[in-house]
Amino acid sequence: NNQAAVVGGLAMTGPVITFAGLIMATAFFGLVLSNVPANCEVGFLIAVGVLVDTFVIRGLLVPSVLAWADWWNYWPRKMPEATRSLEDMEVWAASMDSIGGLQSCWCKCTRACV
């Protein structure tokens, strides 16, 4: 199901994209403290651009376009048949919450956390 794929993708990548965008915006806002007016302007514009990209483009626009225009998602191939239903994804998400969330799953899958 295309809707479930969009929701699942946003749920798994959303926090990472949000925190990366906030870190980048914070770094670029540091340029605003410069004594050089050009650095202040450029730092402000880049930081605002990063925030718009983080919250508006990647958080709202891309998921809505992917959900609305599902025929473009798998171009040039035909969309494969769904192997999971929305109910399966809800059960999976509930099980992730009960064992400590997606972070716990990521740690177990990659053995990155000690």
Run of H or E residues at 24: helix 2-29
Q: What are phi and psi of 66, to 5 degrees?
A: -65, -35
Mean pLDDT of 23-27: 96
37, burial (CB in 10 Å: exposed 0-12, middle 13-18, buried 19+): exposed
Distance CA 86, CA 12 (A): 16
Of 66-75, 78-87, 105-114, minimum mean pLDDT range: 105-114
The predicted structure's pLDDT at residue 109: 53
Biggest distance spanned by C-alpha atoms of the chain = 58
- In angstroms, what CA-CA distances link 33 with 20, 46, 48? 21, 14, 15
Delimit the domains of the chain by residue range.
2-83, 86-114
The predicted structure's pLDDT at residue 100: 59
pTM: 0.62
**Taking 80 as the threshold, does the pLDDT of residue 74 lie above it?**
no
